[in-house]
Amino acid sequence: MIVLPTDTIYGLSCRWDSSAARDRLHQLKGGQRVAFFVSLVSDREMAYRYAVTPSDECRELLDVAWPGPVTAIFRAREGAVPDFVGSDGTIAFRFPNSPFLQELVRGVGVPVISTSANRTGEPHAESAEDAWSVFGEDVDLYVDGGPQEALPSTLVDVSGDKPKLLRVGIQALRGLQIEGEPFKE
């Protein structure tokens, strides 16, 4: 288990293909945490290994938004993802803008789960020190990237024919057509 600075907020992270690590992550988060997690990918190709390639319109959005603080909900490629994928057959990926995170995920070789570094229902950690005060020695490694006071990522569903904005986060998708309307802050 590791706490990492992302291009949005600090994340509590582990390999996505380890059920023991995911179980441990659930325990650390506490509360009624749902099984659905966002996973970081090193590039688009890694996402498309596990997810159905989205429509042309959705790919155009990702061409503008990735790499960056935008989480995309994809249709999962059947038989290619671990059993933690939501019951609706979707999976959430984020291609971070951080070269450090891209290289880390590339080195791991599979997506890396990243969920906010906090207990369920509590504010997210804004520093490695904040995360330590919550998790202490229960986390194996803390990477200190300085203060992270950002909003969580913008969340967009690209599992259908057209992109659908689900949550406005740190990155505004100015000028893009989402649900037939240009996105405005």
The pLDDT tens digits of the residues spanning 29-70 come to 986 655 568 899 999 999 999 999 999 999 999 998 999 989
3-state secondary structure of 105: helix
Q: Which domains, and CATH codes, for the chain?
A: 2-182 (3.90.870.10)
CA distance 42 to 8: 16
pLDDT exceeding 90 applies to what percent of the chain? Answer: 56
144 residue type, one letter? D
Residue 180 has pLDDT above 50, yes or no: no
144-147 contacts at long range (C-beta below 8 A, 24 or more positions apart): 144/5, 145/4, 145/5, 145/10, 146/5
Q: What is the pTM of this model?
A: 0.87
pLDDT exceeding 70 applies to what percent of the chain? Answer: 86
- What is residue 9's predicted lDDT score, i.e. its pLDDT? 87
CA distance 123 to 107: 30
Confidence of residue 173 (pLDDT cuts 50, 70, 90): low
DSSP per position, 36-102: --EEE-SSHHHHHHHBPPPPHHHHHHHHHH-SSSEEEEEEBPTTSS-TTS-TTSEEEEE--S-HHHH
Q: What's the full length of the chain, in residues? A: 185
Q: Are residues 59 and 176 in contact, defined by beta-carbon separation less than 8 angstroms?
A: no
Q: How far is the CA of 145 from the CAs of 67, 81, 92, 98, 126, in angstroms?
A: 19, 30, 24, 11, 10
pLDDT digits (tens, 9 = 90+) for 77-121: 988 887 765 558 899 999 999 999 999 999 999 999 999 899 988
CA distance 133 to 100: 24
Residue 76 has pLDDT above 60, yes or no: yes
